[in-house]
Amino acid sequence: MSVLVDEDLRRRLRRFLEGDRRTGDLDRIYLGLRGRAQGCPAVQEIGDFIAHRDRRDKGLITQVGRDVFTSVEVWSRTLRNLEVDLEDFIRAAEANLRLASDDTIRSALGSSRQMAAARLKKAIQKLRTKRETSETEWAAFTYFGNRFIWCPAFSGKQLSSELSVILQRAGLIGRDDVAQLEIAAAFIALHAVLAMHGSSIVLPNGEPARLFAGYANTDRWIEVKIDLVFNELSKPVMTPICLFMTDLRADIYATADLVIEPRPVLVDHWSTPLEIGPDGRLAAIACDEG
């Protein structure tokens, strides 16, 4: 990275850390970090969303979104009056292995991720060649292949933590600046929501799936969901799944017109363009009627 570019980032960061927070500055910071985000996938992902928002076909959010789609698509096939064959279960098993956390795998199968992956691989090989599996191999295959698993791709806390690591590693902030960056965590999370809201990813079937922000969860945390739609039945079946979760309550971090009571929890999402207002809250972008 050139000296001039780094100086540009430092000045924007100084302004940001001193409380003058602008989404445009944070955009430039993420773009400047895209080539230096090794080991920090959340930061890389937001930088990629800022650079290219529509019909994304790679990246962390895309991979998790595709895996969630595969997981729910196979799991719900019988509910949608569709047949399920071995290859369907294999697709689901491979997706669910990537989605499940290490703790979930250990609790369900009593083994590490590495061991569970090895057993699943052997089970798939044997089933495809019509050979008998061992008990542990069959357990891994039935666990991963016959359920719906989902989890957010990353959280606001992970994003802020990674951003701090990269900025220090790049020499753009010092240790004394970390506390100020932590104070800005809410703005960083809301900025990430803006980067993803209204964008789309391409699913394994080639169809686009939109991402939208909202707070349709029991704690009313602001989140970004993917809208998965299945059209086999007489009416479309919509399955919104969270891919990015914050710990920011919509009642506090969104303007009153975006949080209207009472509303069913399943429709608490926003279909209007958003921005971060001067008060640090999400707000609908005003429409100029002039």
Tell me, yes or no, if the pTM score tops 0.85. yes
Average pLDDT (196-200) is 95
Find the helix or strand (DSSP H, E) in which 238 lies.
Answer: strand 237-249
Q: Where are the domains of the chain?
A: 3-59+152-279, 84-145
Distance (Å, whole) CA 71 – CA 65: 10
Structure token digits, residue 217: 């969860």
Q: Are strands 154-155 and 237-249 parallel, antiparallel or unpaired?
A: parallel
Strand partners, 221: 249
How confident is the model over 28-55, as pLDDT tens digits? 999 999 989 999 999 999 999 999 988 8
Considering the chain, what percentage of its residues have pLDDT values greater than 90? 80
Which band of pLDDT confidence, cut at 50, 70 and 90, is reported for residue 153? very high
Distance (Å, whole) CA 44 – CA 36: 8
- Which bin fits 97, alpha (ψ -120 to 50), beta or left (φ > 0)? alpha
- The yes-or-no verdict on residue 68 having pLDDT over 90 is yes
Average pLDDT (1-18) is 90
SS3 sequence of 157-193: HHHHHHHHHHHHHCCCCCHHHHHHHHHCHHHHHHHHH
**Can you give the pLDDT at residue 239?**
83
Average pLDDT (195-217) is 93
Neighbours of 126 (CB within 10 A): 16
Average pLDDT (196-206) is 93
Name which of 58-72, 87-101, 260-274, 276-290 the model is least confident about: 260-274
How confident is the model over 127-152, as pLDDT tens digits? 999 999 999 999 999 999 999 998 89
Q: Give just the sign of the alpha carbon dihedral 185, 191, 194, 199.
A: negative
**Can you give the pLDDT at residue 256?**
93
How confident is the model over 93-132, as pLDDT tens digits? 999 999 999 999 999 999 999 999 999 999 999 999 999 9
**Can you give the pLDDT at residue 172?**
94
Contact (Cβ atoms closer than 8 angstroms) between residue 95 and residue 67: yes
**Can you give the pLDDT at residue 54?**
87
Which band of pLDDT confidence, cut at 50, 70 and 90, is reported for residue 289? low
Which band of pLDDT confidence, cut at 50, 70 and 90, is reported for residue 265? very low
Q: How many CA atoms lie within 13 A of 280 on its CB side?
A: 14
